[in-house]
Amino acid sequence: MPKGLRRWLTALGLLAACAAQAAARPNIVLLLADDWGFSDVGAYGGEIATPHLDALARQGMRFANFHVAASCSPTRSMLLTGVDNHRNGVGNMRETIPQSHLGQPGYLGVLNDRVVTIASLLRDSGYRTSVAGKWHVGKEPHNLPPARGFDRSLVMGDSGSDNWETGKRYLDLTDKVYWFEDGREAVMPKEFYSSQFYVDKTIDYLRAGAGSGKPFFAYVAFQANHIPVQAPKEFIAKYQGRYQAGWTALRQARRDKAVALGLVPPDTAMVTMGTSTDWDQLSPAEQAYQARRMEVYAAMAEAMDFHVGRLIAHLKASGEYDNTVFVFLSDNGAEASDPYATTLGRWWLDREYQRDFDQLGAKGAYSVIGPSWASAAASPLSTYKFYSGEGGIRVPLIVSGIPGMPQDRIAHSLAHVNDIVPTLLDLAQVARPGNRYQGRPIEPLAGTSMLPLLMGQSDRVHAPDEAIGYELSGNQALFLGDLKLIRNIAPVGDGQWHLYDIRRDPGETRDLQQAQPEAFKTMQARYASWAEAHGVLAMPEGYDPIHQVLINALVNVYVPRWRNPALALAAGLLAWLALRWRRQRASRKP
């Protein structure tokens, strides 16, 4: 055989071997929604049209008992690292962290240097990696995507921004919207629609690397449905009149559908939160306005699903779909906050946005759904974003596309966001890094691989005696088997410990502390041990998350802007007095 032909055949054999190895390692698409409630997805009992997510659910597994943190960046930090947020540096969000905690061990508000991301592990093992969307785990050069394992990236670095105008902030929490492409400040179009733009970027990155022969990891972190709630008018039109019956009726309908789907037990009860308003006490005009808010929210979710469908269509057209694993989740429960409820928030928003009925969802308009609709979005669970009730931290998780996995199943096993990194590593045939990575010490992974459960080889992820602790902004929980110990601070909680069986009572309606006193006592002790081991700090006396957001805005934005500490202090005092007056007034209501 001629020497040239032999070399050519040898090279061809190596290429074939590389192609076979790449085919054995799946592509991975990680889809992260922002502030979606447990039952917002159609496959979870919602009325919102999410056909592409529903199709993924039918082709894979829905998790009915999956938990994250109750706010954005702590969840994102664990999703990327598989390390508890108190150990990875994001013990609290930058927006809500008490000033006395900032900079303390575990409370940087950004990723620390003792963690390695799933993107780094995959890239170093031969994957091409990309991210498009909301980042929110650090804007320092060493925390931007290129330094955290991503080959290509287009990210918005903050907690949120406008969905129509790239330079417009959603609140006065930063001096500007920070956009980065491949680690450098990005040149952005003046206008876009966020969900469409992030999918466009992802498709561009996939096309650019299509000839590499490498599998890919694509992380798409949507802004939908973070405030401001905005959507294209053609999607809003689909929901006109859909929510005229109000939030109580919607909450019941979603609960009934979740029961029918087998996601929650038939006897699942629900609590009516004290922050919910009686729909029937609203005037017809108020009902119409509130219904339009939910129409825009539903439209924003459907628009996101539509663009997920565009990504799926691209993968099918490129021949990559059959070798792609999809993971979809929300970063926390539905958002109940209304920035207009604070003096400073209303003052700023009234200068930047309008909120006329006919304009809700459009460019220049600002909408939220508020606590009553947020409670419906979390149905049949209790509480919502920021709180440790199931409505704040139990979210949809869909995993689809693993070769050989049984289809259209529901997992009732307790699972946690820290479990995603070890699961993806197993799928990609990448070893866990242990306590060191590339010569430097790192925090070990905290989660457990869900792959045996996904493949039908096990019926649970965590052992019944394995405790999983949780804390964020003073709201606390401990999971042990089917039991959950929980304490929420005011104004939603009473500051006391409660005990629930969240498998049988996901709505957290039957406190078991009297019926199971030993478990109640033991779990408090185990929570205390977990909190000490993870460096959890006690919240300052009188901590209020809304008040803290105002303080942090003043410190991070207004003081540098005004360069007049006395003026900033006076503004802070006025904001504090206004908040105190509002709270005292609320406490006097019967």
CA nearest 134: which of 324, 332, 302? 332
- The predicted pLDDT at position 16 comes to 40
Tell me the C-alpha distance between 168 and 288, whole Å.
28
- The predicted pLDDT at position 553 comes to 84
> Residue with structure tokens 């006109």?
240
- Amino acid symbol at 315: L
- Angle at alpha carbon of residue 477, lines to 475 and 479, rounded to 5°: 165
- Amino acid symbol at 420: I
Q: DSSP string of 413-440?
A: S-EEGGGHHHHHHHHTT----TTEETTE
Q: Within 13 Å and on the Cβ side, how many CA atoms surround 535?
A: 16
Which token pair is 293? 């808010």
Query: Can you say how many angstroms the Cα of residue 279 is from the centroid of all Cα atoms in its chain?
Result: 29
Out of 52, 67, 72, 86, the active site residue is 72
Tell me the C-alpha distance between 391 and 474, whole Å.
17
Query: Can you say how many angstroms the Cα of residue 475 is from the centroid of all Cα atoms in its chain?
Result: 17
Out of 52, 67, 101, 136, the active site residue is 136
Q: Which residues pair with 180 in a beta bridge?
A: 155, 185
- Asked if residue 68 lies in contact with residue 332, where contact means CB atoms within 8 angstroms, the answer is yes
- Amino acid symbol at 71: S
Distance (Å) of CA 208 to CA 181, 198, 307: 15, 15, 19
Q: At what angle do helices 284-317 and 370-377 cross, to 10 degrees?
A: 50
Tell me the C-alpha distance between 21 and 318, whole Å.
19
Distance (Å) of CA 51 to CA 33, 43, 44, 225, 294: 15, 9, 12, 17, 19
Q: Is the peptide bond before 105 cis (omega within 30 degrees of 0)?
A: no
Which token pair is 407? 């289809």
Note down pLDDT in tens along the chain; length 590 residues: 554 444 444 334 433 433 444 458 999 999 999 999 999 999 999 999 999 999 999 999 999 999 999 999 999 999 999 999 999 999 999 999 999 999 999 999 999 999 999 999 999 999 999 999 999 999 999 999 999 999 999 999 999 999 999 999 999 999 999 999 999 999 999 999 999 999 999 999 999 999 999 999 999 999 999 999 999 999 999 999 999 999 999 999 999 999 999 999 999 999 999 999 999 999 999 999 999 999 999 999 999 999 999 999 999 999 999 999 999 999 999 999 999 988 888 999 999 999 999 999 999 999 999 999 999 999 999 999 999 999 999 999 999 999 999 999 999 999 999 999 999 999 999 999 999 999 999 999 999 999 999 999 999 999 999 999 999 999 999 999 999 999 999 989 999 999 999 999 999 999 999 999 999 999 999 999 999 999 999 999 989 888 888 888 878 776 566 555 565 566 556 656 655 665 555 454 44
- Amino acid symbol at 412: H
Q: Which residues pair with 498 in a beta bridge?
A: 486
Strand order in the sheet with 467-472: 467-472, 475-480, 483-487, 498-501
CA nearest 409: which of 66, 38, 63? 63
Distance (Å) of CA 406 to CA 411, 427, 529: 12, 16, 39
Q: DSSP string of 434-495?
A: TTEETTEE-PPP-----HHHHTTS-S-SS-TT-EEEEEETTEEEEEETTEEEEE--TTTS-S
- Amino acid symbol at 323: N
- The predicted pLDDT at position 550 comes to 83
- Asked if residue 552 lies in contact with residue 96, where contact means CB atoms within 8 angstroms, the answer is yes
User: Catalytic site residue 18?
Assistant: no
User: Catalytic site residue 67?
Assistant: no
Q: Within 13 Å and on the Cβ side, how many CA atoms surround 486?
A: 27
- The predicted pLDDT at position 214 comes to 97
